[in-house]
């Protein structure tokens, strides 16, 4: 008997973010509840990849109504099934509440977080079962490779990608079509395509989400790249810390093989192609392309000088094309809908959309796909819902350890590859960390430098020793031991490391220091010359808090929360803080409604 259709589909997010907030338990409870009401044959549960709104997980979307429920618990399931499924009533209390308007929003398309997005690459993520090749095909999947193979020459494919203006989403933004052209031009009996899914940037998770939520799209993109460049074998290099991504990709590969979409004579043509997964150990430097290829070959993941570029001498000495996950994910759309449709979105020099991972002190953290050229302000305030806890924006860090921090004055900047480089940041992989005024910018620079310093492979001296010296200086500054000349020394070291390191890791490691020096130099100076941390974040520098007599009305709120009884005073009289007792915990500051307390 043919499988009958279901009247309703419940899409349950099974992305890593929601797994950690308990979507499995919620789903089990849902299943149990459906069974109890004898609804199993009417209602289908589909486990999807990330919807992007991980902050509000676990998430479910109920079709056909398209109602979006979030922050679910197993205990909510009886009510949800009883009310929504049986009686057709929306359960108000489980809807998303917009932080600014406090309104409950039933349909996810109406949520601000999604409204300004343009989900092309993430179109399927969260909307289909990533483990079902049939659902991918139902959504138009493998149409593009079919078209490429049967209607286009490899050169025509390359021209289309060039025309579309796709630039590499792995960080540097190199034109993908041009890279393919180089690999296609190389003469060899054997070529490879490689997908870089190392995703080493702290805070980034777009590649993981794509692999978890829409693995076939990556496979299809790689197939098109292979056809264009003349490769017949490919590798996806994924870090081993991404087990769910690896599992879903493996399933996708098996299914594609079974359908004859991988293997020999694909679509009845003489195109043969197969793909392997290589799980990497997850070192940041292994994301560098030459190090990555060494790692696939079973050697230590250390970079080597380029040229020769991978397009001439890549994996096992053969011409290879290497692209990022999101780069490949853009390709099927370009081929299916044509370059013209694709480049209608974006800016002069950066076409299409970019996926950003929003984290930090922002209301809606998660994944957002936006057209290139959108302003930073729109991303942070319209999509991200603004700064959490009503705090004040201070900076946004973009591009991970290779990127930089941008101040408030630059929030109107339209975001694309070139505009970011111009102001001393970088697109990088698209991690956006939003910081409020409790963040110390010197400390932020120190955090990123600490990361690159410990991830340096050690092959070249400037990167290995230079970053260590810079880190020492930053450590001194944040502990209150900074001295005159430190800033100049940091600048000198930074320039040296940038210009003499072998690979991108060293060449970009000083960026966070340089950009914070550019926009927040006064904070460095305050640490060194005034011995204070303006953000009140560097513990070693805090001398305690004082109360402004004129502003204090003597409400006693502060005294009651101080854990060490450092505050004294009678009701309606100005209070005082004993600096010897104060441990700078800041508890009193957040209690005072009159802004009377500040750093000593």
Ligand X SMILES: Cc1cc2nc3c(=O)[nH]c(=O)nc-3n(C[C@H](O)[C@H](O)[C@H](O)COP(=O)(O)O)c2cc1C
- Specify whether the CB–CB gap between 430 and 515 falls below 8 A: no
Residue given tokens 């570029």 in the structure block? 309
| Nearest one of 193, 200, 192, 285 to 238, comparing CA atoms | 200
- CA–CA gap between residue 249 and residue 280 (Å, rounded): 15
Residue given tokens 């000088």 in the structure block? 305
β-pair type (366-371, 576-577): unpaired
- Specify whether the CB–CB gap between 237 and 278 falls below 8 A: yes
**Shortest distance, CB of residue 402 to ligand X, whole angstroms?**
7
289 binds ligand X (CB under 6 A): yes
**Shortest distance, CB of residue 429 to ligand SF4, whole angstroms?**
17
| Nearest one of 348, 368, 349 to 358, comparing CA atoms | 368
Q: Cα 388 to the chain's mean position, in Å?
A: 19
**Shortest distance, CB of residue 302 to ligand X, whole angstroms?**
11
List the one residue from 138, 185, 240, 564 that touches ligand FES (CB under 6 A): 564
**Shortest distance, CB of residue 492 to ligand X, whole angstroms?**
23
- CA–CA gap between residue 248 and residue 261 (Å, rounded): 17
541 binds ligand FES (CB under 6 A): no
**287 contacts which partner out of ligand FES, ligand X, ligand SF4, none, CB within 5 to 8 A by kind?**
ligand X
Q: Which of residues 52-91 bind other proteins (CB under 8 A)?
A: 63-66, 85-89
| Nearest one of 318, 233, 308, 317 to 278, comparing CA atoms | 233
Applying CB under 8 A, the span of 126-134, 308-316, 494-502, 514-522 interacting with other proteins comes to 126-134
In the complex, the residues that contact ligand SF4 under the rule CB under 6 A are 285, 303, 456-460, 463-464, 501-503, 505-506, 547, 552-558, 575, 591-592, 594, 596-597
**556 contacts which partner out of other proteins, ligand FES, ligand SF4, none, CB within 5 to 8 A by kind?**
ligand SF4
327 binds ligand X (CB under 6 A): yes
Choice between 389 and 580, CB closer to ligand FES: 580
Sign of the four-CA dihedral 438, 53, 420, 398:
positive
Sign of the four-CA dihedral 449, 454, 455, 461:
positive
**Shortest distance, CB of residue 593 to ligand SF4, whole angstroms?**
7
List the one residue from 99, 282, 504, 586 that touches ligand X (CB under 6 A): 504
Please provide the distance, in angstroms rounded to a whole number, between the alpha carbons at the two ends of the chain: 78
The residues near 397 (Cβ < 8 Å, ≥ 6 apart) are 360, 403, 404, 405, 406, 431, 432, 433, 435, 444, 448, 512
- Specify whether the CB–CB gap between 538 and 443 falls below 8 A: yes
List the one residue from 168, 371, 373, 431 that touches ligand X (CB under 6 A): 168
List the one residue from 323, 330, 364, 501 that touches ligand X (CB under 6 A): 323
587 binds ligand FES (CB under 6 A): yes
List the one residue from 33, 34, 47, 57 that touches ligand FES (CB under 6 A): 57
261 binds other proteins (CB under 8 A): yes
Applying CB under 6 A, the span of 40-48, 283-291, 443-451, 588-596 interacting with ligand X comes to 283-291
Choice between 274 and 491, CB closer to other proteins: 274
Query: Three-state SS string across 283-323, please?
Result: CHHHHCHHHHHHHHCCCCCCCCCCCCCCCCCCHHHCCEEEE
**506 contacts which partner out of ligand SF4, ligand FES, ligand X, none, CB within 5 to 8 A by kind?**
ligand SF4
- CA–CA gap between residue 208 and residue 364 (Å, rounded): 19
**Shortest distance, CB of residue 271 to other proteins, whole angstroms?**
11
| Nearest one of 478, 403, 406 to 440, comparing CA atoms | 478
> Which tokens go with 419?
């505009």
> Which tokens go with 357?
């991972």
**Shortest distance, CB of residue 218 to other proteins, whole angstroms?**
18
Choice between 30 and 379, CB closer to other proteins: 30
- CA–CA gap between residue 311 and residue 320 (Å, rounded): 5
**Shortest distance, CB of residue 565 to other proteins, whole angstroms?**
57
Binding site for ligand FES (CB under 6 A): 13, 15-18, 50-54, 57, 59, 545, 562, 564, 566, 577, 582-588
Which residues in this chain contact ligand X in the complex, by CB under 6 A?
Answer: 168-172, 174, 196, 198-200, 284-285, 287-289, 322-324, 327, 503-505
């Amino acid at each position: 008997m043919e499988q009958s259709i279901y009247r309703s589909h419940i899409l349950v997010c099974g992305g890593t973010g929601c797994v950690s907030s308990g979507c499995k338990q919620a789903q089990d409870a849902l299943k149990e509840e459906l069974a109890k009401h004898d609804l199993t044959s009417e209602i289908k549960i589909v486990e999807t990849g990330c919807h992007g709104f991980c902050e509000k997980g676990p998430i479910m979307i109920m079709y056909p109504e398209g109602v979006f429920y979030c922050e679910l618990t197993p205990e909510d399931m009886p009510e949800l099934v009883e009310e929504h499924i049986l009686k057709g009533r929306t359960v108000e209390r489980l809807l998303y509440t917009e932080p600014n308007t406090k309104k409950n929003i039933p349909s996810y398309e109406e949520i601000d977080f999604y409204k300004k997005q343009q989900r092309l690459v993430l179109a399927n993520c969260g909307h289909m079962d990533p483990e079902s090749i049939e659902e991918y095909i139902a959504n138009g999947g493998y149409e593009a490779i079919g078209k490429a193979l049967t209607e286009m020459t490899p050169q025509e494919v390359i021209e289309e990608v060039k025309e579309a203006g796709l630039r590499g989403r792995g960080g540097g933004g190199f034109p993908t079509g041009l890279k393919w052209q180089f690999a296609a031009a190389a003469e060899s009996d054997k070529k490879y395509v490689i997908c870089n899914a190392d995703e080493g940037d702290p805070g980034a998770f777009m590649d993981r989400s794509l692999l978890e939520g829409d693995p076939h799209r990556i496979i299809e993109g790689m197939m098109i790249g292979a056809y264009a460049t003349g490769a017949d074998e490919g590798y996806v290099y994924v870090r081993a810390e991404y087990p769910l991504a690896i599992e879903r990709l493996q399933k996708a590969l098996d299914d594609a093989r079974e359908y004859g979409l991988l293997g020999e004579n694909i679509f009845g043509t003489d195109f043969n192609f197969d793909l392997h997964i290589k799980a990497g150990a997850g070192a940041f430097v292994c994301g560098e392309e030459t190090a990555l290829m060494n790692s696939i070959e079973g050697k230590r993941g250390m970079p080597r000088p380029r040229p020769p570029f991978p397009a001439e001498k890549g994996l096992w000495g053969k011409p290879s094309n290497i692209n990022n996950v999101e780069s490949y994910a853009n390709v099927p759309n370009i081929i299916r809908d044509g370059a013209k449709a694709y480049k209608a979105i974006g800016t002069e020099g950066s076409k299409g959309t970019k996926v950003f991972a929003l984290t930090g002190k922002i209301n809606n953290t998660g994944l957002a796909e936006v057209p290139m050229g959108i302003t930073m302000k729109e991303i942070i305030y319209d999509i991200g819902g603004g700064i959490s806890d009503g705090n004040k924006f201070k900076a946004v860090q973009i591009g991970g350890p290779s990127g930089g921090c941008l101040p408030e004055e630059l929030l109107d900047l339209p975001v694309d590859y070139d505009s970011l480089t111009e102001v001393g940041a970088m697109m990088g992989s698209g991690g956006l960390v939003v910081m409020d005024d409790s963040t110390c910018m010197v400390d932020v620079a120190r955090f990123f430098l600490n990361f690159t310093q410990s991830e340096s492979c050690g092959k070249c001296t400037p990167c290995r020793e230079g970053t260590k010296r810079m880190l020492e200086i930053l450590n001194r500054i944040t502990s209150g031991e900074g001295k005159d000349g430190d800033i100049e020394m940091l600048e000198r070291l930074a320039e040296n490391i940038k210009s003499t390191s072998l690979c991108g890791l060293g060449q970009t490691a000083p960026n966070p220091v340089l950009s914070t020096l550019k926009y927040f130099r006064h904070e460095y100076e305050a640490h060194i010359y005034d011995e204070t941390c303006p953000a009140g974040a560097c513990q070693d520098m805090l001398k305690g808090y004082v109360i402004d007599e004129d502003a204090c009305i003597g409400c006693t709120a502060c005294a009651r929360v101080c854990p060490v009884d450092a505050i004294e005073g009678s009701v309606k009289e100005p209070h005082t803080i004993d600096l010897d007792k104060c441990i700078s915990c800041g508890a009193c500051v957040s209690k005072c409604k009159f802004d009377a307390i500040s750093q000593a």
